Structure 1
Amino acid sequence: MAVASLLRISGQAMHPIALRSNQSAVKHAGNLNSLRTRCVVNQLISAGRWFSASTCRRQAEALERTRNIGIIAHIDAGKTTTTERMLYYSGFTRRIGDVDEGSTVTDFLPAERARGITIQSAAITFHWPPKKQGEENTPTLQELQDKSLPRSTVPHTINLIDTPGHADFTFEVMRSLRILDGAVCILDGVAGVEAQTEQVWHQASTYRIPRIVYINKLDRDGAAFGRTVREIGPRLNGWPAVCQIPWFKIESGNHHFIGVADVVNLRGLRWEEGGDGKSVKMLTLEQLENEESQLAEELKKARAALVELLSENDEAMVEKFLDCEENHLRVPPMDILNSLRRCLLKQGNSIIPVFAGASFRNMGVQPLLDAVLNLLPSPVEAHEPEVTISGVKGGLQQLLSGDLIAQQSEQAAITKGKQKKPSAKALVEKLDGCSLAFKVVNDAKRGILVYVRVYSGSLNRNSAIYNTNLGIMERAPRLLKMYANDAVEVESIPAGHIGVIVGLKHARTGDTLVSYAGNKSPPEPINTLQLRPIHVPPPVFFAGIEPHSLSEEKRVSEALALLLREDPSLHVTVDEDSGQTLLSGMGELHLEIARGRLINDLKAKASMGCIEIGYREAPLGQSNPITKIFDKEIAGRKGKAGCIVTVEPFDPETSSPPPVNALAVKMHEGNQIVVLAPNLEIEVTKKGTEHSALLPSDMDVATFRNTLVNGCLGALARGPQFIFPMHSTRVTLTIDPQAHIFGSETTPSALAAAARLAVSSALRDLISDSGPGTTLMEPVMNVIISVDENSFGVVSRDITSSRSGEIISMDEEMPLPATDLSDSPQPPEELPTIDPAKIYAPPDPFESPSVGANIPVSTSRPRTITAKVPLKDMVGYLKHLRSLTKGRGTFVMSVDRFRNMPPQKQRAVLDELRGVF
């Protein structure tokens, strides 16, 4: 991330004394372990900002000692349990919360504690290592580097976000990922790399977030650290750098997890069994050779493998290895940490540091916290966010330097002509702060809480904030620093930090908030500034909501508005004919939680119907050409227009292409609209607009085209036979200016009404006595099911026989489309090709010598089934899958397409919809 965005401090014009003070600041900034931090001071001087040398050093050092991280993983991998231990060891809490008891800090919602899962992301701030009383003057990072001490020696501020792991709440993960600088991915040591883990990992790749892996639950029977490490390579597309190996103690033929061997520092860490984890015994390599010779030998192999892997990706490590006479054990730990950090932060990184532990048994969490400080980036070092200003994309640094505005001005000058505007530098200098609202929560006591990440400048209390998405000004009356459901009021939130604004009435998830000098609205083009928004995927589950009485209708609408503002992945629509309100979401659990929030938390007096499926309707053949003339008054003005419409089936792969002379071709939700106007004589003016003498004088060709398309879309929203929206339909609309345009009486409203009337009539012609009719279409899902070897056969048979599914592949996972939840369709770099045979992994205690590292003896090999299954047959499937697999099976799914339903299944669905069972 651009450092110039992080220390923008408003001040007065430069003075010679102030200049000398700032030059002194540069000298002090040189003590910091970041070239870019020194650069920021130079940039501030050139920008004319004044501040003292001590302020410069303090602000820069504070940013270097800040980590914005998230915990990501598959459900039940131990995210919340690990977070609780982090809070306990940092001194934030005095007792360890338990998920089963419902006493955790971050899972504070009643639904979360009742179900034992994380539903919404929780932000919390703590310090690691814990701050000690009287410890004011701590060494700078440069002083630590000079003394060969790691960053984890001095206290850092960690802003931690605990994210959900359930597939229904992937949107919650995505809106948290986009504001993080680093992440910890937790893996279940028994289950290995699971399906949802892969999805959140690849989603994090779209934002270039550096990640480390923590293999948890190594205390459980069947835990396989080595097998999990070997899975990381091909499934997460990276080379695992094993930084810790598990330490097992053999008692009565059983292996008990008692600690870890630190590969970087060549030492053993042993925790007291049954303790709270604060007491850790450290053993040197020499002590391990005397007491645990087998572990010591494996530790040496792990060190050699780590140094070799780093040497392949970091030239500085090659030089250090040669300086140490090619002895892997003599390479200093600090050089290994620095090499790991360089590899992790560079663009195109393929190194994945791996750590071990058992959070529930209070083992391995403190070294994981040290790794967060030593390896993951500060806000200064993180990848700068993408910004857009008037359609021109670039980085935040380009914006703050004025280059992005200059590019936008050049484009505007080409299209609109040269206009005298303030210089780009003058515009940027008055930009006091830029932040992103990534989450909105309705708190029962505090009201609406808007979680923000500040990227530039600072966000101050009572400052005026301009919402560039909505184009409105709001004031920030209160600012909070969140500690899960507790909060501390603050005066400002500096750049690089996460905080909460209380009292905003309109801000939503994904909005960009800008504060400008003088508390004024920012001028063009600053008022169009956008930090990358989130693409919300379309919902696939929905249920009806009915107020208990007409008097409760307004209250229910207000509660739904609050619910949608909190969670944009929920949608509310109203059926035009029945007037029923429909709430739709991403899955069964998603809607169930939303129902609980609506009724129990927001106190809405309403009932919610059963979860239903969004079907579609499609034509079975071509309709007759339908000609319609619309001739009515609209808002007291006479309107008259006409057109000819034909409706037919459409398949992108097999249907013929539209005519090359088509006036418009529009694809929308699986339908294609083709507008033909063969006799419309179009002329292009000098300004680039299209006009036709055959159209009314106040109507250009663009308005004419858009109006007809919108009229067609309105008619396609309702099928003629089953009342579901149309799909796989081609509408060919032909308009003859001589026969269908009537001078000034042909208004845009009349054209849209004529198009809608003609399309509706053509759809009804499909179901006439001589028409081909229509059929129902059902959504089909891409489903990835993870099971063990013992359950593989029964689950496969269930998919094909009981659920009308089609198995696509086995043990070859089909990646879910990244475009579902991100505006970055592909990860920025090409994924490396990983050869599992070249991955170092320590042997697992239960590996058979004959089988080796391929298949564990005491556990079943994990298997993956990739299938296409109708969505209706997936309703309630999670409970069924768990019963088939004794609770071990999991699945994730995404929408693939809609397909025609067989007649027998269509009749059954229609009987069910009519209430006939």
Structure 2
Amino acid sequence: MVVASLSRLPSGICRMRSTLYKTSNIANITCSSARGSQSNLKHLQRFSTSTTWQTEALDRTRNIGIIAHIDAGKTTTTERMLFYSGFTRRIGDVDEGSTVTDFLPAERARGITIQSAAITFHWPPGEVDGSTSPQAGAQGEPVPRSAYPHTINLIDTPGHADFTFEVMRSLRILDGAVCILDGVAGVEAQTEKVWNQASTYKIPRIIFVNKLDRDGAAFGRTVREVSSRLGVYPAVCQIPWFLGGNGAFVGVADAIHLQGLRWKEGEDGRAVKMAGLQQLETEEPALAQELRRARIALVELLSEHDEEIVEKFFECEEDHLAVSPADIIQSLRRCVLDQSSRIIPLFAGASFRNMGVQPLLDSIVNLLPSPPEAPDPEVSIGGVKGGLRNLLSGDLIVQQSEKVSGSPKGKQQKKKSTSVPNSNDPISKLQSCALAFKVVNDAKRGVLVYVRVYSGSLDRNSLLFNTNLHLSERAPRLLKMYANDAVEVDSIPAGHIGVVVGLKQTRTGDTLVSYAGNKATPPEPLTSLQLRPIAVPPPVFFTSVEPHSLSEEKRMQESLALLLREDPSLHVNVDEESGQTLLSGMGELHLEIARDRLINDLKAKATMGRIEIGYRETALGASSPITTVFDREIAGRKGKAGCTAVAEQLDENDEAPHDQDTLLVETYDGNQIIIRAPGLQIEHSSRGEEESSPLLPPGMDLVQFRTALQNGAVAALARGPQFTFPMHNTRVTLTIDPATDLFGNETSTSALTSAARQATVAALRDVQAGAGTTMMEPVMNVIISVDEASLGSVVHDISSSRGGHIISLDEEVPLPGTDASSASQALEEEALPPIDTTRVYAPPDPFETPSIGVEIPASVTRPRTITAKVPLKEMVGYLKHLRSLTAGRGTFVMSVDRFENMSGQRQKAVIAELRGGF
């Protein structure tokens, strides 16, 4: 935050901070741009072996991510952060394609973030050295953390719903997050989704309301939406400064320091003019009055959840304005780290106009946690779950030993009293533990594996054991990434994010450990040590991928394998019926980007086409017994066999015959095949096993006899008599009379197969001529998650427009794609008392009308789940339609349920479409 009085700081800090904010003129940050950029590289190439220095550097580290709905200003805000920290000399523009973090050609062409980018910089500008952090100013007041340099590892994440997995795997390794909201649109669909994902991983967050310079911006309405839609208490730390109360947006009023920050229009944002409360009372009396109300509301909110601020409040004789900024910052930090308080600090600005970014950087350093303060990473070892810090201290391994070893009670009690592992304990020799959260195939550097190191230090040339795949790989090179640029380093210490080059097998979500002595396989139980994996959401959109020729198929499969290693949210499977290779993903844009990567980057010669729906055909009645005799030479040998077949509709309630004449009853691909041979005189051995029959042709046993007939029936059922689709839900009964259908040596297995196929085909044609056949289509079991407001329109669309059947409506269920832990977390959140939005402070908006800024009823945002059965044809392309119906908030998953008969109208429409050049 902006320091209220620079005179209270030590002289060295005062000189440094004077380059950031000057009371009446310009805060010139570019004076340290070159020095800051060079210090970044020097710092990354040198990691000291001093434990004290490493501890100090870790406390001054922030691993944060920027999350938001698409087009809320994430990349624009990141560009300003890099500029003010001295990392860059110019501000990149998303529209021009000149940003640092959006470096992919597809990102610059579309103007959106597709792939999360990691970048490291320092705030305030300067090198994080080993000097002791100042603890107090000249008058004993605590010095804010933003007074001395910190290392910020920042990840800019995508905002489009199709790239939700990219956000999930980035959130998995973050210690804190900045959620950016569009001041015009408020809390949008993807904002709610990423917010729930961050809650799953218990990530501390702050909120930045952006784009307040645009027409229609409503800060107060956005604050109320934060409380109603996100279920938290917004602690309003800044309010927007509109010139004259309803003029242009020129800056923010800081409720913590009771001062106004004003930026000059059209400049790069380095000039920040400050105005104290008294000056605001003279120049902007309405703003000064609202600033007092904001300070009172902030102190009151903190007092409800933090006892220490209550004591400070009483020491100040119950004067809200007299509480020091340092005490408020410390109280905010305690509330942010304790997520049970549900207090989220909220800041204001306009990144594109270069307003409000420097105070946001100060709040990142002051309020968000360092790696040691972040929640303990969850691990599992030997079937026991717990925290990584408990494991390293020896507590978790003691529990695991009690469970596995089965040692005597006295010995168990001795282990339980030991809190620190001894020198012989395998855990004491664990050098590093890291999580691979992203894999990228770089054209120049090869495969890059992004890792977050949770303990120890990951050193170059160390042997890494993959506990998921149970194999070892050496790490020949380590990099620290600056978006698309990289600096080679010797090691990556705990709490930091880096890249390992040269790993051939590691995938997203794998746990990597190194052990003292560089052993290929660490001792038990370290081989079972795994950090909490990254949940992969199920795919909801699919398309076909076809190579240009058969010779290109192998190359295409190899490229798809690389693509799947990069992005596990993509799925590839082969449709057994059509033979198509199907690529599934999170949406149309997701698959479009995958196609660009496949063709342009991986140079695969393939095209993406439309999906072929696997229709079926079924009998509507029964045929009369049809007998055929196959009599033809096969490969120069005479073959002769007879068979009688009956084809009929399969009724699940009818039981198949199981008498002594029945040789086989088997269900295959939804059809039932029965083989009967009356009078075959089967002989059994003394052990009860089938042996032979004297009536079978010479050299043929019963297994060959049954198999030959079954293969004939299966071949005939693969093609229906009317629509040529495979048969489904059909029963075929084959009857062989040994006296009339078997002809000694002339009857071979191939002759039996041909006779069975011909008889079955003839029986199916007889069904068509009589009762007829009809088409069947695959019906999907669909689970749709929407809010209460969209429930009616989605139910109407499913039941009327798409020919679906609503099975059930359930309330308050977790979103599809979440694992069990996230589901339990969602239930815990649902159990929390609702936010009383009438007690939430929100400043009035200029030109506010009764239709804008009204409270959103809790029932409108209540989650609902629709379970339905819908034909697969109607679900192709459904994702885009669902998003339009639900304002982007709807999600769904589906799986094949069964095949159902099609109505005459739908059957005619499908046939017309198929004949129209599909």
Normalized against structure 1, the TM-score is what?
A: 0.72
* Matching residue of 2:843: 842
SS at match of 2:96: coil
Which residue of the partner structure matches residue 734 of structure 1?
none
1:901–1:131 CA distance, 2 compared to 1 (3 A): farther
The equivalent of 2:179 in structure 1 is: 185
Deviation at 1:405, TM superposition (A): 2.2
What is the letter of the counterpart of residue 83 of structure 2? Answer: Y
Quote the offset at 1:553 in angstroms. 2.1
> Structure 1 residues 223, 53: CA separation in 2 closer, same or farther (over 3 Å shift)?
closer
Specify every segment of 5 or more residues in structure 1 that has no aligned partner in the other structure, as ranges.
Answer: 1-51, 630-640, 650-692, 696-714, 730-760
Aligned partner of 2:65 among 70, 73, 81: 70
Name the CA shift for 1:374/1:832 in 2 (closer, same or farther; >3 Å).
Answer: farther
SS of the counterpart of 2:247?
strand
Shift of 1:569: 0.8
Aligned equivalent of 1:148: 142
Q: 2:343 & 2:888 partners in 1: Cα distance?
A: 28
Q: Distance in 1 between matches of 2:873 and 2:249?
A: 44
Larger deviation, residues 73-82 vs 438-447: 73-82
Partner Cα distance (1:768, 1:595) in 2: 45
- The answer as to 2:86 corresponding to 1:91 is yes
- Equivalent residue, structure 2, for 1:117: 112
Residue 592 of structure 1: how far off its partner (Å)? 0.9
Per the TM alignment, residue 414 of structure 1 is displaced from its structure 2 partner at its CA by 4.2
Q: Deviations over 1:356-400 (max 9, x none)?
A: 111111111111111111100000100011101122111112211
Classify 1:540/1:855 alpha carbon distance in 2 versus 1 (closer, same or farther; 3 Å).
Answer: closer
- Evaluate the alpha carbon distance shift between residue 263 and residue 476 of structure 1 in structure 2; reply closer, same or farther with a 3 A threshold: same
Gaps of at least 5 residues in structure 2 are 1-46, 619-648, 672-686, 690-713, 730-759
Instruction: Supply the distance in 1 between the matched residues of 2:342 and 2:222 (Cα, whole angstroms).
Output: 17
What corresponds to 1:483 in structure 2?
482
1:163 equivalenced with 2:163 (yes/no): no
Question: Residue 328 of structure 1 corresponds to which residue in structure 2?
Answer: 320
SS in structure 1 of the partner of residue 553 of structure 2: helix
The answer to whether the Cα contact below 8 Å between 1:210 and 1:376 also exists between their aligned partners in 2 is: yes
| 2:224–2:842 Cα contact (<8 Å) kept | yes
Q: Which residue of 1 aligns with 2:205?
A: 211
Matched, 1:508 2:501: no
1:782 maps to 784
Asked if the contact 1:622/1:648 (under 8 Å) is kept, the reply is no
Q: 1:221 maps to what in 2? A: 215
Decide whether aligned partners of structure 1 residues 292 and 514 sit closer, same or farther in structure 2, where only a CA change above 3 A counts.
same
Q: Is residue 622 of structure 1 aligned with residue 652 of structure 2?
A: yes
SS at match of 1:523: coil
Alignment partner, residue 408 of structure 1: 400
RMSD: 4.5
Q: Using a 3 Å threshold, how does the CA distance of structure 1 residues 901 and 427 change in structure 2: closer, same or farther?
A: farther
Structure 2 residue identity aligned to 1:131: G
CA positional deviation for 1:110: 1.0
Structure 1 residue 430: Cα displacement: 0.9
Cα distance between partner residues in 1 of 2:426 and 2:453: 19
Evaluate the alpha carbon distance shift between residue 910 and residue 522 of structure 1 in structure 2; reply closer, same or farther with a 3 A threshold: farther
SS state of the match for residue 275, structure 1?
coil
- Residue 375 of structure 1 is matched in structure 2 by 367
Whether contact under 8 Å (2:66, 2:157) holds in the other structure is yes
Take 1:628 and 1:463, find their aligned partners in 2: how far apart are those partners? Answer: 65
Aligned residue pairs, count = 740
| Greater displacement, 540-549 / 338-347 | 540-549
Question: Contact 2:617–2:725 (CA<8 Å) still a contact in 1?
Answer: yes
Please list, as runs of the form range in 1=range in 2, the aligned pairs for 1:176-575 lying within 5 A after superposition: 176-250=170-244, 255-414=247-406, 425=422, 426-520=425-519, 521-575=521-575
What amino acid is aligned across from residue 191 of structure 2 in structure 1?
T
In 1, the alpha carbon distance for the partners of 2:669 and 2:875 equals: 32
1:905: how far off? Answer: 3.9
Instruction: Tell me the CA shift for residue 131 of structure 1.
Output: 1.1
SS in 2 for 1:164: coil
Judged with a 3 Å threshold, the aligned counterparts in structure 2 of structure 1 residues 798 and 489 are, in CA distance, closer, same or farther, namely: same
How far did residue 179 of structure 1 move?
0.5
What secondary structure is seen at the aligned counterpart in 2 of 1:306? helix
CA distance in 1, matches of 2:372, 2:727: 50
| Aligned residue number for residue 825 of structure 1 | 823
Within 5 Å, give how 1:690-701 maps onto structure 2: none
Distance (Å, rounded) in 1 between the aligned partners of 2:107 and 2:465: 35
SS at match of 1:519: coil
**SS of residue paired to 2:286:** helix
* Bigger Cα Rg: 2
Residues 786, 889 of structure 1: 8 Å contact kept: no
User: How far off its partner does 1:417 sit?
Assistant: 13
Q: Residue 262 of structure 2: SS of its match in structure 1?
A: strand
**CA displacement at 1:96 relative to structure 2:** 1.1
**Separation (CA, whole Å) in 1 of partners of 2:518 and 2:292:** 61
| CA distance, structure 1, for counterparts of residue 226 and residue 396 of structure 2 | 39
Aligned to 2:694: none
Alignment match, 1:745: none
Name which of structure 1's ranges 140-149 and 394-403 shifts more when overlaid on structure 2: 140-149
Shift of 1:278: 1.0
Displacement, 1:540?
Answer: 2.6
Partner Cα distance (2:507, 2:601) in 1: 20
3-state SS in 2 of match to 1:124? strand
Deviation digits for residues 856-881 of structure 1 (CA, Å, limit 9, x no counterpart): 9xxxx999999888775575578779
Measure how far apart 1:142 and its partner are: 3.5
Q: Aligned partners of 1:719, 1:294: CA distance in 2, in Å?
A: 80
**Does the 8 Å contact 1:311/1:318 carry over to 2?**
yes
Structure 1 residues 419 and 149 mapped into 2: Cα distance closer, same or farther (>3 Å)? closer
Q: Distance in 2 between matches of 1:206 and 1:548?
A: 44
Counterpart-to-counterpart distance in 1, 2:247 and 2:788? 27
Match in the other structure for 1:60 = 55
Q: How does 1:677-692 map to 2 (within 5 A)?
A: none
Q: Match for residue 31 of structure 2?
A: none
Deviation at 1:809, TM superposition (A): 14
**Deviates further, 551-560 or 468-477:** 551-560
Would the aligned equivalents of 2:510 and 2:533 in 1 still touch at CA under 8 Å?
A: yes
How many angstroms does 1:265 deviate by? 0.7
Equivalent residue number for residue 35 of structure 1? none
Residues 865, 467 of structure 1: alpha-carbon distance in 2 compared, 3 angstrom cutoff? closer
Kept after mapping to 2: 8 A contact 1:617/1:777? no
Check the 8 A contact 1:189/1:223 in 2, yes or no: yes
The whole-number CA distance in structure 1 between the counterparts of 2:807 and 2:273 is 51
Q: 2: CA distance between counterparts of 1:439 and 1:230?
A: 36
More moved, 547-556 vs 834-843: 547-556
Match of residue 25 from structure 1: none
Amino acid at match of 1:232: V
CA contact (8 A) 1:808 1:866 kept: no
> C-alpha distance in 2, partners of 1:285/1:376?
27
Q: Deviations over 1:415-443 (max 9, x none)?
A: 999999x9964111111110000000000
User: What are the Cα deviations for residues 297-345 of structure 1, in whole angstroms up to 9, with x where unaligned?
Assistant: 0000000000000000001111111111110000000100100110111
Give the aligned partner of residue 582 of structure 2.
582
- In structure 2, what residue type is equivalent to 1:87? L
| Partners of 2:573 and 2:581 within 8 A in 1 | yes
Amino acid at match of 1:140: S
In structure 1, C-alpha distance between the alignment counterparts of 2:310 and 2:300, rounded to whole Å? 9
Is this contact kept in 2: 1:787–1:890, CA < 8 A?
no
User: Contact between 1:541 and 1:612, CA under 8 Å: does it hold in 2?
Assistant: no
1:901–1:347 distance in 2 versus 1, CA, 3 Å: farther
Letter in 2 for 1:249: L
For 1:250 and 1:796, how far apart are their aligned partners in 2? 49
Q: Secondary structure of the equivalent of 2:438? A: strand
Distance 1:720 1:566, change over 3 A: farther
**Secondary structure of the residue that 1:87 maps to in structure 2?**
helix
Deviations 1:275-313 (A, max 9, x none): 111111111111111110000000000000000000000
Q: Which moved more, 1:338-347 or 1:816-825?
A: 816-825
Q: What CA distance in whole angstroms lies between the structure 2 residues aligned with 1:621 and 1:68?
A: 61
| Correspondence for 2:76 | 81
Q: 1:102 corresponds to which residue?
A: 97
> Tell me, what secondary structure is at the counterpart of 2:162?
helix
Residues 851 and 537 of structure 1, relative CA distance in 2, 3 Å threshold = closer
Name the CA distance, whole Å, in 2 between partners of 1:610 and 1:339: 57
Structure 1 residue 551, shift from structure 2 partner: 2.5
Give the aligned residue type for 1:515.
S
